[in-house]
Chain A
């Protein structure tokens, strides 16, 4: 059975939620998709310090996610992609360190207990946890990074527009420009890796035996 046919078969009936048939049909209006729904979910920090703490958290969360991906790929012996995720984690951690240096912070800032009002469930630069596969290839890893950098660029742009403080607006524009550079760098990197074959996920000895 092809992957598409399998997806159709397995997915056609099962988008419904947990438990017995939900009384209310689920709709695609999640908080995680507020931005897509056209709602303005951007809440700009009031001060430069608040903004830089938020930017630092964004970089740290992205670094942690790439580290988790690298560990998972190593466990599944996909060492090439693991190495790429490890490199991406290092880049993000370096960006976080740059923020500390720019602000003259000698230790990590105190993060508000309530967290930050991200436009989705997670910070925009954090790659979604479910978008990796044990057979993924470098191109896929870069595609994830590209989406994350684009989301970060968009976020800082929106934040600059929403900012009431001039210092926050300037800093957001600066970080937006940096993220735009990262987008270009990832795009250049993507040109150096082969695009995967359409059957890249085919495994002759798959984990699932239900097919």
Chain B
């Protein structure tokens, strides 16, 4: 995390753009946007020092709704772009955002290796267990028995467990948040940004259009009964045995982040030209 003194006068509104979201009314992503802006205001990094990178999907529209620099990339490649950006510009605060389809299916391999590389960035996944933008197909986190016309009787395929996979792959910060708790989510995002290394935050974000039953999530979500641990084995056991609605920071490790600069990095075009000429 950059060592920057919080400038005075930054509020959540400082991080909102003039564009209004076109998500369905009731979508959890509105709340996540609000949490992101609140978290950035808490952190106090000015918008021009933050980059929001995304892939494709409903939730991946988020960069346009912030006043930060943004990169709306190709499907599943947000983490690749975000990693490159952070390595090239370690002075920037990099938030990568997207949905469960983008991050765990098309971008699944990038997810594993981003966790493993442990670059100092924050990855926010708005998980609604469905491909919303393409009208309701089952995603990697969809329950195997979710019955709908596109997968009658359900896919029958075991769902992906992003938190434990992130932990096993080396993510240095693993948390679960809930869109219905925007203030708590903002705290978790701020903690993720502050924590050195790769921070993975899974946000349960209901899709009211294709998964209206997810409105019930607010009946189930609850704060994690215990605080974060730095013991991966203990964290794995907790994550594997909880009810799926445990909200909070579940793991905060102390792995050293991928060094942004190793050796003699070339910073300017002139440096690079000199190198090519040699």
Report B-chain residues with C-beta under 8 Å of the C-beta of A197: none
The smallest C-beta distance from A157 to any residue of chain B, in angstroms, reads 23
Docked-complex contact A17 and B148, CB < 8 angstroms: no
The smallest C-beta distance from A118 to any residue of chain B, in angstroms, reads 8
Q: Given that A30-B221, A129-B30, A133-B25 are contacting pairs, would A210 and B213 also be in contact in the complex, using a CB cutoff of 8 Å?
A: no
- The answer to whether the Cβ of A38 comes within 8 Å of any Cβ in the partner chain is no
The smallest C-beta distance from A155 to any residue of chain B, in angstroms, reads 16
Report A-chain residues with C-beta under 8 Å of the C-beta of B261: none
Docked-complex contact A13 and B42, CB < 8 angstroms: no
Residue of B nearest to A33 (CB): B219
Interface of A is mostly: loop
The smallest C-beta distance from B176 to any residue of chain A, in angstroms, reads 8
Docked-complex contact B243 and A24, CB < 8 angstroms: yes
Report B-chain residues with C-beta under 8 Å of the C-beta of A128: 180, 218
Please measure, in the bound complex, the distance between the C-alpha atom of A16 and the C-alpha atom of B150, giving whole angstroms.
20
- The answer to whether the Cβ of A2 comes within 8 Å of any Cβ in the partner chain is no
Q: How many residues of A contact B (CB 8 A)?
A: 50
Q: Which of B24, B135, B164 contacts A209 (CB 8 A)?
A: B135
Docked-complex contact A16 and B143, CB < 8 angstroms: yes
Docked-complex contact A208 and B146, CB < 8 angstroms: no
Docked-complex contact A72 and B147, CB < 8 angstroms: no
The smallest C-beta distance from A79 to any residue of chain B, in angstroms, reads 13
- The answer to whether the Cβ of B84 comes within 8 Å of any Cβ in the partner chain is no
A 72-91 binary contact with B (CB < 8 Å = 1; else 0): 11111000000000000000
- The answer to whether the Cβ of B120 comes within 8 Å of any Cβ in the partner chain is no
Docked-complex contact B25 and A14, CB < 8 angstroms: no
Please measure, in the bound complex, the distance between the C-alpha atom of A168 and the C-alpha atom of B18, giving whole angstroms.
39
Q: Given that A7-B213, A15-B213, A24-B241 are contacting pairs, would A30 and B218 also be in contact in the complex, using a CB cutoff of 8 Å?
A: yes
Docked-complex contact B210 and A14, CB < 8 angstroms: no
- The answer to whether the Cβ of B17 comes within 8 Å of any Cβ in the partner chain is no
- The answer to whether the Cβ of A109 comes within 8 Å of any Cβ in the partner chain is no
- The answer to whether the Cβ of A19 comes within 8 Å of any Cβ in the partner chain is yes
Docked-complex contact B243 and A26, CB < 8 angstroms: yes
Docked-complex contact B25 and A76, CB < 8 angstroms: yes
Please measure, in the bound complex, the distance between the C-alpha atom of A7 and the C-alpha atom of B215, giving whole angstroms.
11
Report B-chain residues with C-beta under 8 Å of the C-beta of A13: 143, 145-147, 154
Report A-chain residues with C-beta under 8 Å of the C-beta of B208: 130, 133
Docked-complex contact B245 and A68, CB < 8 angstroms: no
- The answer to whether the Cβ of A71 comes within 8 Å of any Cβ in the partner chain is yes
- The answer to whether the Cβ of A113 comes within 8 Å of any Cβ in the partner chain is yes
Report B-chain residues with C-beta under 8 Å of the C-beta of A76: 24-25
Please measure, in the bound complex, the distance between the C-alpha atom of A64 and the C-alpha atom of B34, giving whole angstroms.
10
Docked-complex contact A130 and B20, CB < 8 angstroms: no
Q: Which of B22, B127, B164, B220 contacts A28 (CB 8 A)?
A: B220
Docked-complex contact B218 and A130, CB < 8 angstroms: yes
Report B-chain residues with C-beta under 8 Å of the C-beta of A113: 42
Report A-chain residues with C-beta under 8 Å of the C-beta of B88: none
- The answer to whether the Cβ of A132 comes within 8 Å of any Cβ in the partner chain is yes
The smallest C-beta distance from A181 to any residue of chain B, in angstroms, reads 28
Most A Cβ at <10 Å: residue of B22, B154, B221: B221
A18-B204, A130-B218, A133-B25 known, 15 other contacts, Cβ within 8 Å: A10-B146, A14-B146, A19-B159, A20-B161, A26-B220, A30-B245, A31-B222, A73-B25, A115-B187, A121-B182, A121-B221, A122-B181, A128-B218, A208-B210, A209-B136
Q: Which 10 A-B pairs have the closest CB atoms?
A: A17-B244, A11-B213, A19-B161, A121-B181, A22-B244, A24-B243, A26-B243, A30-B222, A26-B220, A132-B25
